[in-house]
Structure 1
């Protein structure tokens, strides 16, 4: 009888722990913010708030909590998936094959010692930089912003790309939205292929990613959903409510923001 009681207590504690873990990785729809004449592609944040790349109107915009434009940088040639560091914003301009750095009111081009062809995404982490080079079907990675390693080539096999659109650097890896292979690929920082996530999820254009310590969020553009995976590739959640042609995702002040390209809006999800 004592042994059975101990077993039941242990089972109860294990069940409670599992429920708590489920709670940590669960997101719930909160609201949709309408954007005024903005069709967002990329998302990032600074101390000022949330910035969006509006590729259709060739500009970068800072919006307030009501979706109104507070500040804008115009005359950018189709900005795509953006990144930020120390309140500077890094912008890949798909139309003219450049990477720009916007710091305050200053816009400068970052010299890349290689030929880009429609850069679709950029990420910055410390001195590291990674670029999703769309038509070249590769990722460029640098530890110092000067010397770049070229990773991948066109194809369907492990380590190959079919139009990469977004990239993120973490402590020990490079994560890539391999858009039209409908998956996310992970590489180590020597450029060696590590693994694929999402191949079994039947995605249709994996356009944007956001990686946290435990989760990977992927925008499934044509299927109009955002998928949440753990780092082992297990799908934890499918987010559909309010999601229409999503292009990018961002966690800002603990909330999950999704950029809707089709209807010009941002969707907010909160943790349970």
Structure 2
């Protein structure tokens, strides 16, 4: 009788373990915002809404979280991947090879002391500015708005570019969307190459980039998806729900916004606990690493 009870308890314990569900925090599509007459290319956070560059119409639009246009900045020349900080916008003008600093009604051309050829993306962090110089296959960077360094050349080796499209600044590094090399590259702020990410993912035009404390995100334009990597370069998630020719992305108030150029829309994702299979949980665990050295 005692042996029977032990067997029964063991069976109940095994059944309980089998029924225990595994969950993981993942990005889940929650909403799509239609944009009337806006083909969004770049995205940036504004103090009173979300800024989108509409290069097809040579303008920027400020929208609310429902997609309603609140304000327009016209008479630009093919604005691309924009950046913002407080009230200030920095606008790369692909059409006239200029970088425009815009605050309220004040406009100023950013002097880089370099001849730009179709600047496609900018990033700012305090006095720091980084520029993706598309046709020159270079990145320009300054930490004080006056003294610039330049690095990169056309090619496929580490440190080379083939039409860089977007940049992102973290505390220590410069991240670059190396669009037509189909990868991301990371440099220190002296222009030294540190690592290359995503070459094994068969991307087709890595156009936009955003980097958080834990992850690096890129838009895979021709494949209609977003790839999420950890900061070491391991793939964590692929997002493809309701995404059509994505160009850029940003996280605002824990919501991931993806610009859909072809779809004339924004796809919104939030992080949720989702149930996963045991095997999937094992595989995912192998892709998740704890980082001792996160950047701000």
Same fold (TM over 0.5): yes
Deviations 1:154-179 (A, max 9, x none): 00000000000000110110000000
Show structure 2 runs of 5+ residues with no match.
1-12, 273-296
Other structure's SS at 1:200 match? helix
**1:184, distance to aligned residue in structure 2 (A):** 0.2
Deviates more, 1:59-68 or 1:74-83: 59-68
> Which residue number in structure 2 is paired with residue 77 of structure 1?
77
1:106 corresponds in structure 2 to 106
Q: Provide the rounded CA distance (Å) in 2 between the counterparts of 1:172 and 1:65.
A: 32
Equivalent position SS for 2:154: coil
Aligned to 1:59: 59
Q: Equivalent residue for 2:254?
A: 254
Aligned to 2:240: 240
- Report the 3-state secondary structure (helix = DSSP H, G, I; strand = E; otherwise coil) of the residue aligned with 2:114: coil
Larger-gyration structure (1/2): 2
Aligned to 1:41: 41
Structure 1 residue runs of 4+, over 2 Å off? none
For residues 12-51 of structure 1, what are the structure 2 equivalents within 5 Å?
A: 22-23=24-25, 26-51=26-51
Pairing of 1:3-18 with structure 2 (within 5 A): none
Number of matched pairs:
255
Contact 2:243 2:263 in 1 (8 A): no
Instruction: Tell me how far 1:46 sits from its aligned partner.
Output: 1.8
Q: Please give the alpha-carbon distance, in whole angstroms, between the structure 2 residues aligned to 1:119 and 1:106.
A: 21
Residue 158 of structure 2 aligns with which residue? Answer: 158
Displacement of 1:109: 1.2
Q: CA RMSD in A?
A: 1.5
Query: What residue in structure 1 maps to residue 147 of structure 2?
Result: 147
Shift of 1:86: 2.0
Structure 1 unmatched ranges of 5 or more: 1-7
| Residue 85 (structure 1) shift | 1.2
